[in-house]
Amino acid sequence: MDKQFKLFKNKKILITGHTGFKGSWLTLWLSNIGAKVYGISLRTKGFNHFNSLRIKGVKSNYFDIKDQNKLKKVFKKIKPDFVFHLAAQALVKHSYKNSTETFLSNSIGTLNVLEGLKTLRNNCIAVIITSDKVYKNFEVKRGYKEDDIIGGQDPYSASKGCAELIIESYFSSFLQKNKNLRIATARAGNVIGGGDWSQDRLIPDCAKSWKNKKPVMLRNPNSTRPWQNVLDVVRGYMILAKALKTKSKLNGKPFNFGPQSKENYSVIDVIKLLKKNWKNFNFKIQNSKKNYREANLLKLNSSKANKVLKWKCALKFNQSVELTAKWYKNYLYSKNVKKTSLDTLKDYYYYLKKKNIFYKSDI
């Protein structure tokens, strides 16, 4: 039994975006602990990580979070003990082609979730997931801190920045008054891990190319990103929820979740490590000009989460990429997603125990 997170056992946990990349890992982990997981997502056809996991007992609701009435009804019916809001249009490139949809899902969708929280009369802890991209990016070398200016040029970043403003307004105008409710915002950087098949993301692009025996085309080989493993970030969200329960002073506060500051690596560093793990995997640099803007340098300062939550990434950059490479390799050989992902969770627990992180961060 996962001692650190036993508070989630038998609790009703509502996860929006439970079928997505992060949501599917959070759902798997919490279900494994014995939580009663309820999800809200868009219905996706065909193969995805969540569908392939076939997790028993998860109650999925498929509808659009833009529908405030439906969302309120679900909140009222479930009366969740914990809410993790992850549902979003999460891709920068897609946000240029579908900017209205991105703003409506990410900004108004978040407002609707807050409206859902407003209807609750029971005790509830909510973690609202935004992004590292909420900061006005001056491409500076230092990492952004929680009190830096909120901004965002591309529609995705701006939609998440808007969500932050809405959260702040709702917290001070309505939610703070509700003594049964505690809420915090989680801003994490680029996440990698197994089970991600999204378009226009590095790891899924690499995995698909490797599977099809084709070189992957790289847009920005020298771009650095705060890469971190999906399990480190999901653990951060759970630690934040746990800390909110015991520490009222965290109510309404934002937290960054990023790798250690020296752990900033480029796309090509990721590729080199994947090449070590995947036989015959290759890449080509794409020279064509990009018709949309994407930040080249983006760093997070996570010292607040390190200090207050005792959270830090358990995996170093190379361990995170290796665990990711192993997931795709095992999946491609075995086609057994559930076993592959549960094995990954076991590998991750092994790292936590080895580094004595498990119990140290038990706040």
Residues within the interface to ligand NAD (CB under 6 A) = 17, 19-23, 40-42, 64-66, 86-90, 105, 109, 129, 131-132, 188, 190-191, 198
The residue at minimum Cβ distance from ligand NAD is 20
Q: Which is nearer to ligand NAD, 198 or 301 (CB)?
A: 198
Q: What is the DSSP letter of 327?
A: H
> Shortest Cβ distance from residue 16 to ligand NAD (Å)?
6
| Least distance from ligand NAD to the Cβ atom of residue 359, Å | 28
CA distance 79 to 132: 30
Q: CA 361, CA 313: separation in Å to the nearest integer?
A: 11
Minimum distance between the CB of residue 159 and ligand NAD, rounded to whole angstroms? 9
What backbone torsions phi and psi does residue 143 show, to the nearest 5 degrees?
-80, 145
Closer residue to ligand NAD (CB): 89 or 344: 89
One-letter amino acid identity for 153? Q
Q: How far is the CB of 21 from ligand NAD (least distance, A)?
A: 4
Q: Which is nearer to ligand NAD, 101 or 168 (CB)?
A: 101
Instruction: Write down the number of H helices and E strands in the chain.
Output: 14, 13
Residue 130 φ then ψ, to 5°: -110, -110
Q: With respect to ligand NAD, which residue has the nearer C-beta, 131 or 344?
A: 131
CA distance between the termini of the chain: 17
Of residues 23 and 143, the one with the C-beta less far from ligand NAD = 23
Tokens 């009435």, residue? Answer: 69
Query: DSSP code of 88?
Result: S
Nearest-approach distance from CB 229 to ligand NAD, in angstroms: 11
Query: Closer to ligand NAD at the Cβ: 28 or 40?
Result: 40
Q: Quote the crossing angle between the two packed helices 109-118 and 155-173, to the nearest 10°.
A: 20
Query: Cβ 14 to ligand NAD, closest distance in Å?
Result: 12
